[in-house]
Amino acid sequence: MAAIITTDADFIVKLIDVYPDSCSNYELNGKTIKLGGYQMLVRGEVMRARFRKSFEQPEAMTPGKTEEIRFYLPDVMHTFRKVHKIMVQVQSSWFPLVERHPQQFIDTYKAEEKDFVPSTQRIFHQKDAASFLEINVLK
């Protein structure tokens, strides 16, 4: 569940495998590679809020209104080893991987510099508006 103060935004969700601080370093091509605390991106995906209900009929968000933004990270077979941690990051920009977003319900490709405005996104976690990430476990 999320709310924004503008009419559109990008939501980037990343699933990360965090190596324990005690993880041993290793040598590669004469260089020492530090693995303790390493954060390996397992999966990341972008959802433009305007497509939260339909890709065929984009819809502006209402500023300040809490809404569900549901999307799926494409599946990937990954093993989280014992003592590793699972980290989830949610962010609103992944530039330059994804083009800048004006944070407004306008045609991004026709946006001028003045159309790019700051925005605040809130991700909720309380009982009546809980956000979650569902992960399939293969046994």
What structural domains and CATH numbers belong to the chain?
2-129 (2.60.120.260)
Tell me the pTM.
0.85
Tokens of 19: 């190596």
Q: Which residue, among 75, 1, 91, 79, has the nearest Cα to 43 in the 3D structure?
A: 75
Tokens at 106, concatenated: 């306008």
Angle, alpha carbons 102-51-48 (nearest 5°): 40
Q: What is the mean pLDDT of the chain?
A: 92
From the list 65, 117, 62, the residue with the least C-alpha distance to 92 is 117
43-93 pLDDT, tens digit per residue, is 999 999 999 999 999 999 999 999 999 888 887 889 999 999 999 999 999
User: Which pLDDT band, with edges at 50, 70 and 90, does 131 fall under?
Assistant: confident
Which residue's structure tokens are 């009546």? 128
Q: Lowest mean pLDDT: which of 6-10, 29-33, 45-49, 71-75?
A: 71-75
pLDDT at 75: 79
